Amino acid sequence: MRNKFILLILCVFTGVSINAQTAIKTLPQLGKDPLSRVIAAMTLEEKVNLVVGQGMRMPGAPSEISKNTEQMSPVVGQTQDQVSGAAGTTYPIPRLGIPSIVVADGPAGLRISPTRQNDKATYYCTAFPVATLLASTWDVDLVNKVGQVIGNEVLEYGVDVILGPGMNIHRNPLCGRNFEYYSEDPYVTGKIAAAMVNGIESNGVGTSAKHFAANNAETNRNSLNTIVSERALREIYLKGFGIMVEEAQPWTIMSSYNLINGTYAPESYDLLTKVLRNDWGFKGFVMTDWFGGRDAVAMMNAGNDLLMPGNPNQNKAILEAAKAGKLDVKVLDKNVERILNIILQSPKFKGYKISNKPDLKAHAEVSRQVASEGMVLLKNDNSTLPISDNIKKIAAFGNTSYEIITGGTGSGDVNEAYSVPLVEGLQNAGLSVEENLKILYEAYLKAAKAGRQRSRGFMMGSVPIAELSINSDIINSIVNLTDAAIITIGRNSGEGYDRRDGEGDFLLSYVEKDLINSVTSAFHSKGKKVIVILNVGGVIETASWKEIPDAILLAWQAGQETGNSIADILVGKVNPSGKLATTFPVNYKDVPSASNFPGKVIGQTQPKADKEPDMAASFMRPQPAEVTYEEGIYVGYRYYSTFNDPVSYEFGYGLSYTAFEYSNLKLSSTKFGNKLTATVEVRNTGKSEGKEVVQVYLTAPGKKLDKPAMELRGFKKSKLLKPGESQVLSFDISKKDLASFDPVLSAWTAEKGLYTVKAGSSSKNLSQTATFNLGNDIIVKKESPALLLKDKINELKPR
């Protein structure tokens, strides 16, 4: 009896297995058969499943909950499928050989959970400097190298696509996510992003350049209607993405939450098909930001191929529309094809054997190196830095000397194994720090942390700890015990809220100002120096206090090695060569978008920029809200240089321990044909070796279209030049560089007339000039009329 039963089981089992094998043999398989056959073999339900992600799954939550998290939107992506703490996954269809691919955040390094349930191993990733610092290196080769090692972690931890780089323009210094973005300038943004994408993707993994497009504030981010002219869109907000697509062709692009001129970005056919694919030739797929967009069918039609993280209502809506003939299945097939084309290239599809053991030690070295290359020396009176050999003991003031901020909050935060505080970095460099002061700060920080409210709300991170107020008796007693003082000023911000134009944020707090004043006067009275370190993710006010200390180093949020990288600069192991890729204005009100940032909730009053952010009323707000980009193309230095508005530190600014001289700017011709080449010589005239970022700007005639006083058209970082050594750098100037976007013609056009090329060390320090002539007006490139404004807006004009 027992044997008979076993035989029966075996027969049934073998029978099923043979049938299944025969069926699989006849079914087309991804990678083995033409894509068209694979798509033809998919059921409608399978196609719909593929274009909608598998949902979120919080640690410990059963998978049914994961698909029903829509009401929690928007949140930092989180899934436990395959790679714990990744942001999401796609739907697998094993019968056709289609695996599920994994996507994870985010720009400053890979973001996954460092630990897993019932697993003793750890999965830490390297925290690299924030994007704003990377752009401040102006070094595309170095950024490419950072991309290569980030991509290696993506590969070795089993992720297929990293959700970055972030590429939105720094329209306003208060945007809470500026640290995830590169610059106020689209050319810098595009070039640096292309280097990053190429570096990451050289590992055979993908990127998702985000957030496409015009997502320049966090307040009301899910409902904000960005009203912007076609010219400003093309020249400022889209251009960086265009450069990056042309030079790097990323696997994917992430559409943004906001609306552009009345249409949600992920639902915009103009944006995702006309501009991105028809005009720029993008070949990958587009995914939504997490829970972005409202109408699933409109997103399919627009060319937003994948809805992330995905929820069942979206599956239902697409399926019903396809069945009712409201969504053409050919459109769905195209979305599916684009996703499959990328899955085909993925490590998951190729069966890559992951190690879960990237070389974190080697990657930390890269993080340390790039960090010191992107820090910007803002002030260095009487060669305060590098600190002289007789300085042995430092008085370290400021909370963040002890609790360094390595990066911003939200999805851009990385789970690193350790971080190096400034005091530790100083000690590693052979300096000692004043112990009593250290004990005082550490005790204060411990008590403040124990007593504070854990979080200001979803994603906002912990409440910042108020700067410790130190009385003058303590300061005076420390002066005699130490050789110099460092004061660190820290700021943090992140996803989901914007910063404030108030004390303790854009402005220094009373305690911080007092600290700078009293420490400086005490140390100066004994002939000792004071150095301020800015450990910030974005721009702060500097004009009112910058005269006080001897030196100011803008260290940004420089990743897990921040303390070591700062110390490398302070002791002169690295000669600073970072330059600002974003302007430091004198006052917030000078910023051209100050009067219309972050926008307004329709029917309510403007949110106050100087009030503490209120999460419930901020980015989750479902009410319609809008912002009008009245400054048009005059963003950042384009505004300050055209309107002659003074700034505290200009775009492109940054000091070195050595000096550079520019000479011999030469053009290959004084008449523009198809292109020309500018060459300029830079010589190290100082006493130490160093690198210089050479910048080339162009001034175009502006008879038909208003033109900014100048626009950056080229940059290169020199090699490490020895004292006395020089290098000739060359820059190609193409037709594109001459052109502006003419909305009437829907084309990039260049006006005939005289053009001036300027070369130098910052947007204000351009000692070399040369001119050339363009004989005729030319149309450089026609574009699709797209994203048109419904009503005309009053844009800023230079006259």
Q: Give me the residues that bind ligand BGC (CB under 6 A), please.
A: 74, 76-77, 87, 105-106, 163, 210, 289-290, 411, 495
Could you tell me if 358 and 109 are in contact, meaning their C-beta atoms sit under 8 angstroms apart? Answer: no
- Number of helices and strands (H, E) in the chain? 23, 29
When the beta carbons of 285 and 697 are compared against ligand BGC, the nearer one is 285
Q: How far apart are the first and last CA of the chain?
A: 100
Tally of CA atoms within 13 A in the half-sphere of 260 that contains its CB: 27
Percent helix / strand / coil, the chain, rounded to 5: 35, 20, 45
- Pairwise CA distance, residues 62 & 71, whole Å: 17
Buried b (16+ CB within 10 A) or exposed e, 195-232: bbbbbbbebebbbbbbbbbbbbbbbbbbbbbbbbbbbb
CB of 53 vs ligand BGC, minimal distance in Å: 11
Residue 377, strand partner residues: 553, 655
When the beta carbons of 289 and 541 are compared against ligand BGC, the nearer one is 289
CB of 100 vs ligand BGC, minimal distance in Å: 17
- Pairwise CA distance, residues 218 & 599, whole Å: 10
- Pairwise CA distance, residues 756 & 407, whole Å: 40
- Pairwise CA distance, residues 182 & 538, whole Å: 10
- Pairwise CA distance, residues 772 & 667, whole Å: 8
CB of 577 vs ligand BGC, minimal distance in Å: 30
CB of 349 vs ligand BGC, minimal distance in Å: 22
Q: Regarding beta strands 753-760 and 768-774, do their DSSP bridges make them parallel or antiparallel, or are they unpaired? A: antiparallel
CB of 328 vs ligand BGC, minimal distance in Å: 29
Q: Which residue has the tokens 């001036």?
A: 756
When the beta carbons of 76 and 387 are compared against ligand BGC, the nearer one is 76
Alpha helices in 702-756 (DSSP H): 735-738
Question: Cα–Cα distances in Å, from 38 out to 9, 35, 97?
Answer: 34, 5, 9
Could you tell me if 489 and 548 are in contact, meaning their C-beta atoms sit under 8 angstroms apart? Answer: no
CB of 565 vs ligand BGC, minimal distance in Å: 26
When the beta carbons of 270 and 495 are compared against ligand BGC, the nearer one is 495
When the beta carbons of 109 and 592 are compared against ligand BGC, the nearer one is 109
Encoding tokens for residue 776? 């005729």
Q: Kindly state the helix (H) or strand (E) to which residue 425 belongs, with its residue range.
A: helix 422-428
Q: At what angle do helices 360-374 and 140-156 cross, to 10 degrees?
A: 150
Question: Cα–Cα distances in Å, from 75 out to 308, 309, 467, 496?
Answer: 11, 10, 30, 9
CB of 433 vs ligand BGC, minimal distance in Å: 37
Active-site residue flag, 160: no
CB of 106 vs ligand BGC, minimal distance in Å: 5
Tally of CA atoms within 13 A in the half-sphere of 393 that contains its CB: 11
How wide is the angle at C-alpha 598 spanned by C-alphas 594 and 601, nearest 5°? Answer: 130
Residue 552, strand partner residues: 379, 532
Closest residue to ligand BGC in the complex (CB): 77
Q: Which residue has the tokens 């363009």?
A: 774
When the beta carbons of 66 and 768 are compared against ligand BGC, the nearer one is 66
- Pairwise CA distance, residues 285 & 301, whole Å: 13
Encoding tokens for residue 202? 């050289």
DSSP reduced 3-state for 574: coil
- Pairwise CA distance, residues 651 & 649, whole Å: 7
When the beta carbons of 74 and 421 are compared against ligand BGC, the nearer one is 74
Catalytic annotation, pick one of 289, 483, 501, 742: 289
CB of 221 vs ligand BGC, minimal distance in Å: 8
Tally of CA atoms within 13 A in the half-sphere of 539 that contains its CB: 31
When the beta carbons of 173 and 412 are compared against ligand BGC, the nearer one is 412
* 236 phi/psi in degrees, rounded to 5: -110, -55
When the beta carbons of 308 and 665 are compared against ligand BGC, the nearer one is 308
When the beta carbons of 160 and 289 are compared against ligand BGC, the nearer one is 289
CB of 475 vs ligand BGC, minimal distance in Å: 43
CB of 409 vs ligand BGC, minimal distance in Å: 12
Encoding tokens for residue 358? 């990237």
Instruction: Report the candidate in 571, 528, 535 with the shortest Cα–Cα distance to residue 550.
Output: 528
When the beta carbons of 211 and 716 are compared against ligand BGC, the nearer one is 211
Which residues are identified as catalytic?
289
